[in-house]
Structure 1
């Protein structure tokens, strides 16, 4: 177990303990040497984590101390870092900027050396990035999904035919080559997929489909699972 993980786990052990915990007990649980635990306790105390106690008697975490609200294990932190890296490939500029702010905020809330897992940039998502669409903004689609607002779009299909649609956006799927809006289409009276790079223009309508989103998403997921089973 790496040192950053051990420091996190030691704090967790002391948080739930109702009596002093010896270094030997901590070492046994984490499968490391007692000497390592002594060094880790000293490191945590140097980071102003209020651990009281001494060798041979045990350690406690003084009342009132808690981890920051956004505290994760090293593996959880690495999952966040990789997820933020994957956002770089979506073409969604607003989410890309938001991902940078997320990493900065979480890193600022972490003590060293846990912070290193966020800032080392040792994990990368390799591959090409989807181009940003020209006829619709990701932020508009995501906002419409949250607010359950209908959108008016001009859409050109694979054959080059253009139609005007009023859609109820339900979900947004990010693929490597393009993103897809899953929506109820008033023209077709069915759930349809619309590639973002084929939407030529888009606008809010001021009309809503409140309390219908969850029901339609459930129908979409059910249909998707049925199609998967049939194609298996």
Structure 2
């Protein structure tokens, strides 16, 4: 296979938005891991938004282009209100993303329909438990997105300390707190953790594969009402 063809095929593999280990890519492309390292360096140098490092994996950070759409007044109000909630109840990375998104929407309108997001955010107040979650939210979101195992130091509701190895599956917002649903490798079962009770979260350096019996779908099916 010509190198240009291999580089094209690598981009197609990375377009799923998941983290790929160099060893897995090498197996699929039938080349050495060293060759994959060189190819990734070439893609990055060419301006392709590939992120990652040797020994961890690679992921394609491609922008998402949406087709043109017409939004009604009430739909725009819902969009602004949702972004206002994100500004008050999510970590700084998501807050900045919400502001950038609304800025793009407002610039695309013939004339501003609102006085900005602040008009919708003044009566939204984040509970202390929500603010306490901000420190760990970025790494948890990254671990969910990239299917990375996390090591967490956790304070249980009864005050006891615990160290867990988890596969984070989803984050949930309950109005006064964020939680993280995960497969706990330490307990070999599903667990829901209060994010504001996670004292520290570290990437374990391991990617977990999708296993049906340990998936979010299995969790939802197990606990749904009969």
User: TM class by shorter-chain length?
Assistant: 0.5 to 0.7
* CA distance 1:135–1:97, shift in 2 (3 Å): closer
8 Å CA contact 1:181, 1:193 repeated in 2:
yes
- Residue 223 of structure 1, CA deviation: 2.7
Q: Distance in 1 between matches of 2:145 and 2:213?
A: 11
Q: Which residue of 2 aligns with 1:195?
A: 194
Which residue matches 2:100?
A: 101
Given candidates 116, 121, 138, the residue that maps to 1:119 is: 116
Determine the C-alpha separation between the residues in 2 that align with 1:178 and 1:201: 17
SS state of the match for residue 83, structure 1? helix
Cα separation, 1, equivalents of 2:163 and 2:117: 48
Going from structure 1 to structure 2, the CA distance change for 1:88 and 1:134 (only over 3 Å counts) comes to: closer
The farther-off stretch of 95-104 and 69-78 is 69-78
Query: SS of the counterpart of 1:103?
Result: helix
The answer on whether the counterparts of 2:84 and 2:118 sit within 8 Å (CA) in structure 1 is no
Q: Give TM-score scaled by structure 1 length.
A: 0.60
Give CA-to-partner distance per residue, 1:147-181, whole Å, 9 cap, x none.
Answer: 11100001110111111111000000122322101
- Which ranges of structure 1 fall in alignment gaps of 5 or more residues? 1-67
Alignment partner, residue 78 of structure 2: 79
Q: Does 1:130 align with 2:127?
A: yes
Q: In terms of Rg, which structure is larger?
A: 1
Number of the residue aligned with 2:216: 217
- Tell me which stretches of 4 or more aligned residues in structure 1 moved more than 6 Å: none
Q: What does residue 160 of structure 1 align with?
A: 159
Deviation track 1:14-52 (CA, whole Å, cap 9, x = no partner) reads: xxxxxxxxxxxxxxxxxxxxxxxxxxxxxxxxxxxxxxx
In the TM superposition, 1:45-56 aligns within 5 A as none
Deviation per CA, 1:130-160, whole angstroms, max 9, x where unpaired?
Answer: 3433795211111111111100001110111
Report the alpha carbon displacement of residue 71 of structure 1 after superposing the two structures with TM. Answer: 4.1
Cα distance, 1:87–1:135 mapped onto 2, change above 3 Å: closer
C-alpha displacement at 1:83, in angstroms? 0.6
TM-score (norm. length: structure 2): 0.62
Structure 2: segments with no counterpart, 5+ residues? 1-66
Q: Distance in 1 between matches of 2:72 and 2:133?
A: 40
Q: Does structure 2 retain, via aligned residues, the 8 Å contact 1:168–1:185?
A: yes
Alpha-carbon distance change, 87 to 137 in structure 1, aligned in 2, over 3 angstroms: same
